Amino acid sequence: MNTKYIIKKFILFLVIVFGFSACQNSTPIKQETKLNKLKVAVFAGNGASPTCVIETFEALRIDTGIFPSIIKSAGIISGKLKDIDVIIFPGGSGSKELTNLGERGKQKILDFVKVEGKAAVGICAGGFLFSTTKDYPSLQLVSATEWDRAHYNKGRALIQFSLTPEGLEIFPELKDQSCFLQYYDGPVFMPSDSGRSGTMDYIELAKYKTDIDVHENFPVGVTPGKSFFLNQQVGEGKVIVTAGHPEATPGMRWIVPRMARWAADKEMISYKQKWIRPELNDSAILFYPKLVKLEKKLFWQLLNDTVEYRLNAMQKLYELRSRPAVRWNKGMLRSNNAAVRAKAAELLMLTEYTDALPDLVSALELETDTNTHKHIQDAIEFLSEF
């Protein structure tokens, strides 16, 4: 039995049988069993984007002290909340998530936070769901309102934000850094009328810096300075919200487990430096109609018969920080061309797409090209070590 075969089988064994291999965090924590780990559930009911659910779940796995799970409305109604410490409502549609919860599910969540003193995290649509916005049915967990519901579909972008002193206490790794997150129609928060004369009952953790103006005839110069991250004590529990998508932003995915730890009053442990890479992005990228058309054109080039076109499209999509393109790279692992497969493995590693590990393991089993084999193996080793 040759060495290459042993390595492939060993990796397959680690990934599939025992789960993804884990390393000690930068700040040592004691070995934890499932019973004493922080139990964090991602809501996956109707209205929650399946992609956001997957990516949020994967981001939680960066923290080896967290036991992540998925919960649906039926589970909430049947009493499964008693088994978790933190619930995360991911991107998608806040109103549809609320509809799926129903009146009884809504009350379960409110009791979970306000009465039982548990924690809730809202990401993008989760922020809309938690808000107190006039004429917008919601959980009303935070005294923040969306600034203009008429223009809620603001568009897609990689946007810049700045942390407040309170935000830096939760995310000290971002001190003196230029900070960017993926953004997709997220809430732009202001104090709601439920606050004291328009003052903030919530604590502002970060502000928008980028002016999101990708649609013609939309207001300009409005988003900068508005609340981007916030938190609030709600009854006996805590809530924390981001308008962006850290789970979909390489170098910033660790923010998700950090938010869960803060909301649950747990120790703010450090993570491996390879996950903390705010320097990956240095400028905002707004998907104006022209850029959306280019992204679509590049997508079709992924299906081109000419290898050079495919490789060029993959690189350009990465440079545009195209969110969908990260997932498209999984399919490129199954190309007939070795160079395309190697490029796909490289980009999946660069974008921290841990959900692609089964695809990478499968590709490694079939790979015969030496150079491509190394790229795939490197990607597996990087993505499987937390």
Q: What percent of the chain has pLDDT over 70?
A: 88
Residue 27: count other Cβ atoms within 10 Å of its Cβ: 10
| Confidence bin at 45 (pLDDT 50/70/90) | very high
- Least Cα distance to 124 among 148, 102, 146 occurs for 146
Write down the mean pLDDT value for the chain: 89
**Alpha carbons 114 and 13: distance in angstroms, whole number:** 44
What is the pLDDT averaged over residues 19-48?
A: 66
Query: Is the pLDDT confidence value at 321 over 60?
Result: yes
What is the pLDDT averaged over residues 132-136?
A: 82
Query: Is the pLDDT confidence value at 248 over 50?
Result: yes
Query: Is the pLDDT confidence value at 28 over 70?
Result: no
Strands 189-191 and 179-184, bridge-based pairing: unpaired
Question: Does residue 28 come out as left (phi exceeding 0), alpha (psi in the -120 to 50 range) or beta?
Answer: beta
What is the pLDDT averaged over residues 165-192?
A: 95
Choose which CATH entry (3.30.70.100, 3.30.70.240, 1.10.1740.10, 3.40.50.880) describes domain 32-280. 3.40.50.880
The domain defined by 288-384 carries CATH number 3.30.1360? no
**pLDDT score of 191:** 84
What is the pLDDT averaged over residues 259-278?
A: 96
**Alpha carbons 79 and 125: distance in angstroms, whole number:** 24
Q: How do residues 102-117 score in pLDDT, each as one tens digit?
A: 999 999 999 999 999 9
**pLDDT score of 298:** 98
Cα of 25 vs its chain's centroid, Å: 20
Residue 71: count other Cβ atoms within 10 Å of its Cβ: 19
Strands 227-234 and 237-242, bridge-based pairing: antiparallel
Query: Is the pLDDT confidence value at 256 over 50?
Result: yes
Query: Is the pLDDT confidence value at 290 over 50?
Result: yes
Query: Is the pLDDT confidence value at 316 over 90?
Result: yes
Residue 299 makes CB contacts below 8 A (sequence gap 6+) with 313, 317, 324, 325, 328
**pLDDT score of 341:** 98
The helix-helix angle for 3-12 and 357-366 (nearest 10°) equals 160
Query: Is the pLDDT confidence value at 7 over 60?
Result: no
Query: Is the pLDDT confidence value at 76 over 90?
Result: yes
**pLDDT score of 48:** 98
**Alpha carbons 260 and 141: distance in angstroms, whole number:** 16
Q: How do residues 336-386 score in pLDDT, each as one tens digit?
A: 999 999 999 999 999 999 999 999 999 999 999 999 999 999 999 999 998
Higher per-residue confidence, 193 vs 381: 381
Query: Is the pLDDT confidence value at 216 over 80?
Result: no
- Least Cα distance to 236 among 263, 256, 255 occurs for 263
**pLDDT score of 33:** 59
**pLDDT score of 12:** 46
Query: Is the pLDDT confidence value at 151 over 50?
Result: yes
Per-domain residue ranges for the chain? 32-280, 288-384
